[in-house]
């Protein structure tokens, strides 16, 4: 019998879910399937005021901070400077910030993806480019991990990465260790200071994990670290 550690994912608010008649809270099916394929049990959590993660995360062994809408620029001391911002929601941000901080402070293995990657950067005192000159939506490129490939759980340093983001890191957050950069120079992966395994990637490894086993390795590393809890 497979020991499937439970992996927490904060759900995303949506106005466009065809299977329901009202506003929704969703997780990407492909993301959930990636965690499952890696041997984990993905659990979606409702974003609420005062989420009390100490109580809600009882029995949870790891945290995944997924993609989604944009982080409110106010969190990094800026006003909106582009019409390209989308999906901004303070309650969503507050839940993501608080679960990330709880995970880092309490030794829960954590993987941050795309928006999650950017949000962790802001949590650590960094800032974002609100709209890139040449965005990476529907963009596939090669990423080379410059260091700590083993820490990420990868068996090869170069992998084909599927991206969907229009923002990037401007000022790097305190304590974050850059592991990979894109040819344009923006950060693509970092190690997060935490009491447990914690890493972030700018791309979406769930997009092509079936065709590219290296992407699945990221989820397998999260799940294997979670099993140790």
DSSP state of 205: T
Cα torsion through 50, 226, 42, 49, rounded to 10: 0
Q: How many CB atoms lie within 10 A of CB 224?
A: 18
- How many whole angstroms separate alpha carbon 72 and alpha carbon 90? 7
Contacts of 154 (CB under 8 A, 6+ apart): 145, 214, 217, 218
Cα torsion through 90, 124, 81, 179, rounded to 10: -120
Indicate the domain borders of the chain. 6-227
Output b/e per residue, 17-41; b: 16+ Cβ within 10 A: eeeeeeeebebbeebbebbeebbbb
Q: Which CATH number fits domain 6-227: 3.60.15.10, 3.40.50.880, 3.40.50.300, 3.40.50.720?
A: 3.40.50.880
For helices 213-227 and 29-37, the axis angle rounded to 10 degrees is 70
Element (H, E) at 47: none
Instruction: For the chain, 229 residues long, give each residue's pLDDT as a single digit of tens.
Output: 568 999 999 998 887 767 777 787 778 899 999 999 999 999 999 999 999 999 999 999 999 999 999 999 999 999 999 999 999 999 999 999 999 999 999 999 999 999 999 999 999 999 998 987 777 776 777 889 999 999 999 999 988 877 877 888 999 999 999 999 988 888 999 999 999 999 999 988 987 888 888 899 999 999 999 999 8
């Amino acid at each position: 019998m497979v020991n499937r550690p439970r992996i927490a994912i904060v759900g995303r608010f949506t106005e466009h879910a065809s299977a329901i008649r009202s506003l929704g809270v969703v997780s990407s099916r492909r993301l959930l399937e990636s965690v499952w394929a890696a041997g984990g049990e993905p659990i979606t959590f409702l974003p609420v005021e005062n989420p009390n993660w100490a109580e809600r995360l009882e029995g949870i062994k790891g945290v995944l901070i997924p993609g989604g809408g944009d982080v409110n620029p106010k969190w990094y001391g800026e006003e909106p400077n582009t019409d390209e911002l989308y999906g901004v929601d303070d309650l969503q941000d507050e839940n993501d910030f608080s679960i990330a901080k709880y995970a880092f402070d309490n030794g829960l293995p954590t993987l941050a993806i795309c928006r999650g990657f950017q949000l962790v950067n802001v949590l650590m005192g960094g800032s974002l480019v609100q709209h890139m000159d040449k965005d990476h939506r529907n963009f596939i490129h090669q990423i080379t991990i410059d260091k700590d490939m083993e820490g990420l759980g990868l068996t090869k340093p170069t992998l084909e990465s599927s991206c969907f983001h229009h923002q990037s890191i401007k000022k790097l957050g305190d304590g974050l260790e850059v592991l990979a950069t894109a040819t344009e120079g923006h950060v693509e992966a970092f190690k997060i200071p935490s009491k447990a395994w914690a890493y972030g990637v700018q791309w979406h490894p769930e997009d092509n994990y079936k065709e590219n086993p290296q992407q699945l390795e990221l989820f397998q590393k999260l799940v294997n670290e979670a099993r140790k809890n």
